[in-house]
Amino acid sequence: PDLVPDPTRTSLGLEYFCFEGDDLWTMDDAALIALGTREIDAIGLVPASKVVDGCVVRMPKAYPVYDDSYQEHLAVIRAWLRRFENLELAGRNGMHKYNNQDHSMMTALLAARNILGQGRFDTWKVNTDAEYHEEATPETGRAVPRRIDAA
């Protein structure tokens, strides 16, 4: 309710993949909002006439880029970071892990709950079982994080 106090409206986020400095990245905010409005209208999600406002947030390095040694390097980093009991990692950049934006936000929420003492959640388990990204086999559902016992 704080983000959209009017119950007759909703907030909708669009995400565009681009590189810093490319045409999408450098597009004027108004033009980018107009593009998003045209696209959600074209796919039948929201009529353009119903869009009342928009804003643009550019997030550099929001999409991890992998190489052949990615998993090995990540394993070394994760093992080293486990020494820090008060460190919580979240999101694509914090975990250097591809997640849809909602999964990235879920890791942040669970990390916050860990910090507040509202449970002990393993943020690395968010979206580990539901492989439905671009190159994986589509499945239904999403992996639900489970509480873990404190050691």
The whole-number average pLDDT for the span 8-23 is 89
Query: How large is the average pLDDT for residues 127-137?
Result: 51
Phi, psi torsion values for 147, nearest 5 degrees: -65, 145
pLDDT tens per residue across span 90-109 = 988 888 887 788 888 999 99
pLDDT score of 40: 95
Query: pTM of whole model > 0.75?
Result: no
The structural domains of the chain, with segments of one domain joined by +, span 1-60, 84-151
Q: How far is CA 77 from CA 49, 67, 86, 123, in A?
A: 49, 15, 16, 15
Is the pLDDT confidence value at 4 over 70? yes
